[in-house]
Structure 1
Amino acid sequence: MKKLYATEEWKRRSSKRSLRTLKRKRKSCKYSGGKEEESKEKSEEKRNSKSARASYENVKKRKGRIEIKAPANFSLINNIDETLLFFDTVHYYSTKNQQKIYFDLSEVKELTTDAILYTLSRLEYYHERRVNIIGNNPNDETCDNMLLASGFYKYVYSQRVGKTPSDSNIYSIESGSTVLPQKAQEVKNFAARCLNKSDLSDTRSIYTTLIECMANTKHHAYAARSLHSKWWLMASYDQNSKKIHFTFLDNGFGIPRTIRKKNTEKINEKLREMVSKVVAVESLDAILINSALKGEFRTQTSKAYRGKGLPRIYETAQQNKIDTLVIISRKGFVNSSSREVRPLKRIFYGTLLSWQFL
């Protein structure tokens, strides 16, 4: 697999194929990235933003800016409801005001890699829409050092760019738009060094899992309205548990919007959309994610050789090569290790995969 993805011929053919596919899908409104899907996206954003404004209390209106305080436990894995409420509140004020938005991270006591990557994803979204966002650093020394070591400041305008400390226990943030075998190999080498594993076969699952994530991003995640895909990757080693934590994020439409649905599911979805305008209705996104994860035939292309990425990752988890596999996308949260499949109250934009290497 390594040789296949590393060849220049494969990269060239893959790029051309992806470009042709995206151009073709642009012409079809039936595709999840078409006009109909964009309309759904805007409607959901509007509903979520309104409810966020009414629910979130940590907002202060200063002269010339809106200050929004991040939760003390700034984590999607451990505190997803409050963290998504924070981001929804930011989104509301980004659409209603011409003032600056101030990310107040000063009281963050717990910070995880998933929250760091999602913050970057949303900041890029607002940057493209010319929303002026500034912010501060966590007062907590551990959180502040983690944010520095992660390489976060390389991706935003900051005076702290040159102050990034080296931390041998953190593989700093990398991003890309295609399958990058060299980055997957770097992460594999990072894991082998941290865990003192000289046998390459022990860490092979890391390489293959990351390649599958990158390939999924290229083939499935992105709307026809854009020809540019984007993913972020980060890893960290916990000396106490002796485990390496991996986080992979893409900012596409998400798994529930890009998989093939059965006719009954489509009808159910339409009914839920109509009812949700009047009363709160639980989303089916978590069930769809779990279905795609377990390998049910869900690829939109209807080709049997596609849609294998998530099932392969799930198979790796079932073989106990990775642990605590969590997937968050749209309004769905799935933890394959604890078998938790639950709907979310708010939208997570994109798809996040988080897991630990044993």
Structure 2
Amino acid sequence: MKKNTNLSLQARNRLIRRNRNGKNRKKSPKKEQKDKKSISDNPYNRNSKKTLKKIDLPKNFDLHENTDTTLALMCQFRKIVDKDNPRLQKLNFDDIEQINPSSALMLVAELDVWNIKSNNRLSSNHKTWHADIKSLLSEMGLFELLKLPPLENNSSTNDTTFLKFISGKNSEGEKAKQLRENIERVIGKSLEQKLHLFDGLTEAFTNTTQHAYDKDNSKEFDKWWITASYKQGDKKLIVSMYDRGNSIPTTMYTNKKWFWLDERKNTKHSELIRIAMETSFKNKNTRTKTKEPNRGKGLKQLLDFVKNQGRLTIVSNKGYCSFQVENEKLTTTQQKELKYPLQGTLIEWQINV
């Protein structure tokens, strides 16, 4: 503060005290209350006094039949898990009456990452769960992630079997072989397409490592998760693979391979997925950036796995597409834009055994 020679010493001291009091002046009660409320009402704020107590899973936790609700919940859970210090106390499974393996796998992946990043145990009481849901999630390995004791009595009447999830970081042929062997233990060794499954999954693992995550792939949770389920009554096998990395539309936006797509950033995500699939299916001699002739055929091989008796569904970002192959012709059976994004990529194969 500049000295004013026209003021007496006493007047100048009064002015200095007045300025000091102004700087330390308290906010009005209404303003202070409003600021506190804005912090405490945001459960994702590190300074929040309000702890997000639990997440309630919906009655129908199915990516296909209840898409918006399922993805909205996964977005909520992902936001929490992605924090440096994730805060959550409980996952409530009490209301679930229906769940499909792909939705369960996404949940398993987020719980796996939660355990890597957080020392806090998520509370969940399986005694109040529906018997069928309890059995399926126990089979998939979710009980271990929640640190729950194994089931002593299985009272499920469900004819569906979930296989325990497998996860990895790189192109691991042994993991694909392990899944194939697990499937064979449930349905026998009569699966004619097992060679396509083995080769295609190995390629899909490699693609995830190269494209979905950053080049260093250094984080413990930069990996993929895979599982399978078999419904005895319908003789239907479902194989699901999920990663939390960059989505297919995102990688297409930045990959020079797709330069010929005019204004591709304005193209719908489901359309981008369809274009990628059709291009891979038609171009049998596709080469990736590795320049190896045996690479880049993963999508084609995985389509071969469902040829003439199944479908392939890809969900990535806001794109949802299902495909069938009949008589060497690829058909898009369902295509839609999603309300909520899937932050990663889910690939699901359904075949009639």
Fold-level similarity (TM above 0.5)? yes
* CA deviation string 1:81-132 (max 9, x = no partner): 1111112234556769985343221100001211221112223445565495
Match among 222, 225, 231 for residue 224 of structure 2: 231
**Residues 90, 157 of structure 1: alpha-carbon distance in 2 compared, 3 angstrom cutoff:** closer
Structure 2 CA distance for aligned equivalents of residues 122 and 161 of structure 1: 20
- Cα pair 2:63 2:71 within 8 Å, conserved: yes
**Residues 152, 100 of structure 1: alpha-carbon distance in 2 compared, 3 angstrom cutoff:** closer
Match among 245, 257, 269 for residue 252 of structure 1: 245
Q: CA deviation at 1:231?
A: 1.1
The 5-angstrom pairing of residues 257-268 of structure 1 reads 257-259=250-252, 260=255, 262-263=258-259, 265=261, 267-268=263-264
Write the letter of the residue equivalent to 2:187.
L
Structure 2 CA distance for aligned equivalents of residues 69 and 234 of structure 1: 24
The 5-angstrom pairing of residues 172-191 of structure 1 reads 172-191=164-183
Write the letter of the residue equivalent to 1:176.
G
Residue 208 (structure 1) aligned with residue 199 (structure 2): yes
Match among 122, 132, 144 for residue 110 of structure 2: 122
Q: Which residue of 2 aligns with 1:4?
A: none
3-state SS in 1 of match to 2:75: helix
Q: Which residue of 1 aligns with 2:233?
A: 240
Structure 2 CA distance for aligned equivalents of residues 187 and 294 of structure 1: 27
Q: Which residue of 1 aligns with 2:91?
A: 103
Larger radius of gyration: 2
3-state SS in 2 of match to 1:339: strand
Write the letter of the residue equivalent to 1:71.
P
| Structure ranking higher in helix proportion | 1
* CA deviation string 1:280-323 (max 9, x = no partner): xxx62111111111235898739584532113322443x32x51
Q: Which residue of 2 aligns with 1:323?
A: 310
Structure 2 CA distance for aligned equivalents of residues 128 and 119 of structure 1: 14
TM-score by length of 2: 0.67
- Alignment identity in percent? 25
Unpaired runs of 5+ in structure 1?
A: 1-52, 54-61, 273-282
TM-score by length of 1: 0.67
- Cα pair 1:295 1:311 within 8 Å, conserved: no
3-state SS in 2 of match to 1:218: helix
Structure 2 CA distance for aligned equivalents of residues 142 and 289 of structure 1: 34
Match among 339, 344, 349 for residue 345 of structure 1: 339
**Residues 131, 253 of structure 1: alpha-carbon distance in 2 compared, 3 angstrom cutoff:** farther
Q: Which residue of 2 aligns with 1:291?
A: 275
Q: Which residue of 2 aligns with 1:151?
A: 141
**Residues 329, 164 of structure 1: alpha-carbon distance in 2 compared, 3 angstrom cutoff:** farther
90-99 vs 333-342, which moves further? 90-99
